[in-house]
Amino acid sequence: MLILGIDTSTSAIGAGLSDGLGVVAAAHHVDARGHTEQLAPLIATLLADNDLTPGDLTGVVVGNGPGPFTGLRVGMVTGVTMAHALGIPVFGLCSLDVLAHQGAAATHGEILVATDARRKEVYWARYRIESDAVERLSGPAVDRPAELLEDVRALPTLGRGPVLYPDLFPQAVEILDVDAGVLALVGARGIVAGSPMPVEPLYLRRPDALTSAQRGATS
């Protein structure tokens, strides 16, 4: 098994590899608006640096978001297109779930994941971590940080929410973006377990750019 993980839901454009037992390798480039230009070269370099070719892959896992429309779409389309061209399956995972799995090594109990949704909002979800088990309790959702309940905002918080709004998220955990290697590993474990992992984008709101027909329908 060799799974390629792709995530473009946060400020980090990421690609990672897992053999189902651990993370083989991962590469990330922080650029909130360079997904189209950066992702394909990042994947190519990751494979080449590990003496691999696309033909060695047995599956692709993409981050479903939530994330800004354009960036998220780039990652998901790239993953689906690669899988189709290679004749291998493609799966999807909530990107906030992956961040919660990353946090499992650093904290336990209830945590909050809050990422940048722009427009002075955050994408967020609440989790419970017990040993290696990660359970989503609520979300994903998109809100202004101050609209979250105070006891929720007081939880240990992963993602860029605490960086952007330190007064509202006082317990920051130093995990900012999705690690595509962990995405690949969690996806690989899900494949073995037969878990449903549909590729379904979590935009949570309409894109900023609308066609003339879409604008007319909403007016």
Same domain, yes or no, for 38 and 48?
A: yes
For 30, list phi and psi in degrees, rounded to 5.
-85, 110
The tokens of 53 are what? Answer: 């070719």
Same domain, 63 and 101: no
Is pLDDT of 100 > 60?
yes
What per-residue confidence (pLDDT) applies to 216? Answer: 43
Q: Are 26 and 13 a contacting pair, CB within 8 Å?
A: no
Q: Does any domain span residue 210?
A: no
Residues 7 and 90 in one domain: yes
CATH number of the domain bearing residue 57: 3.30.420.40
Structural domain count, the chain = 2
Domain shared by 59 and 83, yes or no: yes
Residues ≥6 apart with Cβ < 8 Å to 184: 3, 4, 5, 16, 17, 18, 23, 24, 26, 61
Structural domain boundaries enclosing 59: 3-95+178-193
Same-domain status, 38 and 86: yes
- 3-class SS at 166? coil
User: Residue 31: how many CA atoms within 13 Å on its side-chain side?
Assistant: 13
| 31 — pLDDT class (breaks 50, 70, 90) | confident
The order of strands in the sheet holding 133-143 is 133-143, 121-130, 109-118, 157-158
Place of tokens 């900023």: 208
Query: How far is CA 142 from each of CA 8, 41, 110, 152, rounded to the nearest angstrom?
Result: 17, 31, 19, 14
Residues 35, 72 within the same domain: yes
Element (H, E) at 142: strand 133-143
pTM over 0.75: yes
Distance CA 134, CA 217 (A): 40
Structural domain contains residue 7: yes
Q: What is the pLDDT of residues 139-159, one digit of tens each?
A: 999 999 999 999 999 999 999
What CATH number should be reported for the domain holding residue 106? 3.30.420.200
Q: Over 60: is that where the pLDDT of 219 sits? A: no
- Averaged pLDDT for residues 66-86: 94
